[in-house]
Amino acid sequence: MGVITAKSPAVKGRRVKRPGRLVAEIVTVVVAGMVAFPLYWMVLSAFKPAGEIQIANPKPWTLAPSLDSFQRVLTVSGFGRFFVNSLVVALAVVVLSLLLSFLSAVALTRFRFRGRTVLLVMILVAQMVPVEALTIPLFFLMRQIGAVAPAFGLNELGSLVLVHLAFSLPFAIWMLRGFVAAVPVELEEAAKLDGASRMRFTWQILFPLVAPGLLAVSVLAFIHAWNDFLFAKTFIISKTENQTLPQAILVFFKPEDTDWGAVMASSTLMTIPVLVFFVLVQRRLVAGMSGAVKG
């Protein structure tokens, strides 16, 4: 668990009161169990055989794990297609917001030009605008773009990418600013003396140096795009095969007749990519978040 559990130098110097710490540790472990329980229940219910899910006295374990629920999900609904759609949208949002916000962050940190402060304040305010409240005008805007430029190839998934960029760019720029500012100016001077162009310095030297910030930004942008339910519900209306995962799961959920096994199996499948992404970057995540704050 890298950063999070790295032994702090504090432990050595602190006067240890054993009984107090033991109580604190027991409380911590109990809380961890409570926090993890809904996830345990989700995975467990996904693997339970049909006869053990929708019953009046559910058991917190199963002796006969089964893949039936997963099979129903994967065969009935065209789940794979929706999964790929979600993945494509979320990854496109991550890549585009990284590239564009990085360039903006460099300009706003390293360059001196008129109106810089005004731009910074605008970005700060933009972070607080609830993009969800703009659903109506964005819906009309996407319809216009689609009508005006069908050759441009902007299908409904493309419109989702654009909308999520509107959310992720402001905070990504703001967050990366701190990281860019932390890179010593002398490095730029040295690169200039060596004959590197500004563009080259930006991409070949600065970009790798702000990696923790890029990771933190990509996690937040990915999660936001992956979770989106509202915009997918509003924008994707012409073709079912354009649906993303959050919409697709609704198929199994009917207030009076819910297939809970399938809902839990699809929820589990939907959680896995985020979890994988988190595990890949978590070492850097804490550093990324605190770095942004210091900037």
Q: Which of residues 10-49 bind another protein (CB under 8 A)?
A: 10-11, 13-15, 20-21, 24-25, 27-29, 31-33, 35-36, 38-39, 41-42, 45
How many Cα atoms are found within 13 Å in the side-chain-facing hemisphere of 253? 10
Is 129 a binding residue for another protein by CB under 8 A? The answer is yes
Is 152 a binding residue for another protein by CB under 8 A? The answer is no
**What is the amino acid identity at position 155?**
N
Compute CA distances 266 → 51, 55, 221, 226, whole Å.
18, 20, 22, 14
Two tokens, residue 266: 């699809």
Range 178-197, binding another protein (CB under 8 A): none
Task: CB nearer to another protein: give 24 or 187.
Answer: 24
Task: CB nearer to another protein: give 76 or 124.
Answer: 124
| Calpha distance 223→263 (Å, rounded) | 20
| Calpha distance 76→70 (Å, rounded) | 10
Range 44-103, binding another protein (CB under 8 A): 45, 53-58, 60, 99-101, 103
Is 241 a binding residue for another protein by CB under 8 A? The answer is no
Are the beta carbons of 131 and 171 closer than 8 angstroms? no
CB of 146 to another protein, least distance (A): 14
Start-to-end CA span in the chain (Å): 25
Tell me which stretch binds another protein (CB under 8 A): 62-70, 76-84, 178-186, 276-284. 276-284
**What is the amino acid identity at position 42?**
M
Compute CA distances 172 → 51, 77, 214, 235, 280, whole Å.
47, 35, 8, 24, 19
CB of 29 to another protein, least distance (A): 5
Task: CB nearer to another protein: give 203 or 211.
Answer: 203
- Number of chain positions touching another protein (CB under 8 A): 107
Range 131-150, binding another protein (CB under 8 A): 131-141
